[in-house]
Amino acid sequence: MTTGVLELRRVSKTYLDGADEVHALRDVDLTVEPGRMVAVMGPSGSGKSTLLTIAGALETPTAGEVLVGGHPLGPMSRDDRARLRRRAIGYVFQDFNLLAGLTASENVALPLILGGLSQVKGKFMDFAITINNDEKDITKSTVSVVIKATSINTGIEGRDRHLRTADFFDVEKFPEITFKSEHIEKKGKQFIAHGPLTMHGVTKPIALPFTVTGTYKNPTNNKISVGYSARLVLNRRDFGINYAHRDNPTFVGDNITVEIELVTRALDPK
């Protein structure tokens, strides 16, 4: 026996209109098999919208059982039903129902992020990095970084506005993110820059591992360009960024992966 992608078993829905009961649905049975297209037709007020909202886990029936992909909706929590809608159910409304702060493509991509199917990537557009490079002994080099927190860019302006608020970077109160190396050590082919990182008004010592990906000396003027690559995982809560989504506390992860790919401007040899 084939399991339907959608099953309604003796589903009823009753609304109260003052002291009166309005029976929108009475003992509806419906099975939609995989690959089938089903049209629900009827006059205004016949229960079409109620049937669709119940079938799509937006509303619960007064009686009966609804299964989506073989999973009964009745025992599911509100969060579980929300996750099911994101991953298994799509709606095309009569109105657009788009989030005004997002583009059409961003509206389409949003469920992938909400469902945990996509990691959010972003970058800072306004920053300054100063490197005093010692060509003979890199452990004698220094690096300092100043990042303008308001320049965060994840590609979705509505999300970027939220990241600038007190829930996250609080850019009005803490406009800059800074790092300054205190010493650099060599471990095998890798180097580690040690120093304080200040973000959201909190300063913590970090160890930033990096590698030199390449060097180029201009034969005309002997100036040197150097490529660096670094990767570091930070816990945002260590810096007092403790925002949690009201309905889904795990919606925003705690760990932030910082990736740096840098090529310096030509330097005078030292």
State yes or no: pLDDT of 163 exceeds 60. yes
What pLDDT is attached to residue 208? 96
Is residue 93 within 8 A of residue 52, CB to CB? The reply is no
User: Per the domain annotation, does 116 fall within a domain?
Assistant: no
Q: Is 104 a domain residue?
A: no
Provide the pLDDT for residue 9: 95
Q: Tell me, yes or no, whether 127 and 245 share the same domain.
A: yes
Q: Are residues 148 and 218 in the same domain?
A: yes
How many CB atoms lie under 10 A from the CB of residue 238? 14
pLDDT at 220: 86
Residue 215 lies in a domain: yes
Residue 127 has pLDDT above 60, yes or no: yes
Q: What are phi and psi of 106, to 5 degrees?
A: -70, -35
Nearest 5°: phi and psi at 9? -120, 105
Is residue 233 assigned to a domain?
A: yes
pLDDT recorded at residue 95: 79
What is the structure's pLDDT at 6? 93
Task: Judge whether 50 lies within some domain.
Answer: yes
251 and 131 share one domain: yes
CATH number at residue 86: 3.40.50.300
Which of 97, 114, 131 represents a domain boundary (last residue)?
97
Q: What is residue 153's predicted lDDT score, i.e. its pLDDT?
A: 95
For residues 55 and 147, state if they share a domain.
no
Same domain, 130 and 93: no
On whether both 168 and 246 belong to a single domain, the answer is: yes
pLDDT value at residue 136: 83
pLDDT at position 218:
84
Which pLDDT does position 158 carry in this prediction? 82
Average pLDDT over residues 4-31: 93
Task: Give me the number of domains the chain comprises.
Answer: 2
Same domain, 189 and 253: yes
Residue 176: predicted pLDDT: 98
Residue 268: inside a domain, yes or no? no
User: What is the reported pLDDT for 18?
Assistant: 86
- Taking all residues of the chain, what is their mean pLDDT, rounded to a whole number? 88
Kindly state whether residues 188 and 254 are assigned to the same domain: yes
**What pLDDT, on the 0 to 100 scale, is given for residue 150?**
97
CATH of the domain at 233: 2.40.128.110
The tokens for 152 are 């965060």
Q: Is the pLDDT of residue 82 over 70?
A: yes
pLDDT in tens, 200-220: 999 999 999 999 998 888 888
Decide: pTM greater than 0.75.
no
Greater confidence (256 vs 159) lies with 256
Is residue 28's pLDDT more than 60? yes
Q: So what's the pLDDT on residue 118? A: 61
User: How confident is the model over 55-80, as a mean pLDDT?
Assistant: 92
136 and 255 in a single domain? The answer is yes
Residue 102 maps to a domain: no
Instruction: Spell out where 113-163 has E strands.
Output: 123-124, 127-132, 142-148, 152-153
Rounded to whole angstroms, how far apart are CA atoms 52 and 146?
A: 53
Regarding whether 223 and 140 lie in a shared domain, the answer is yes
149 part of a folded domain: yes
Both 166 and 209 in one domain: the answer is: yes
Q: Are residues 33 and 148 in the same domain?
A: no
Domain boundary among 97, 131, 146: 97
Q: Is residue 151 over pLDDT 90?
A: yes
Give pLDDT tens digits for 86-116.
778 888 877 778 877 677 777 777 776 666 5
Q: Measure the CA–CA gap between 33 and 6, rounded to whole angstroms.
A: 7
| pLDDT at residue 116, as a whole number | 58
Range of the domain at 86: 6-97
Rounded to the nearest angstrom, the gap between the alpha carbon of residue 242 and the centroid of all alpha carbons in its chain is 15
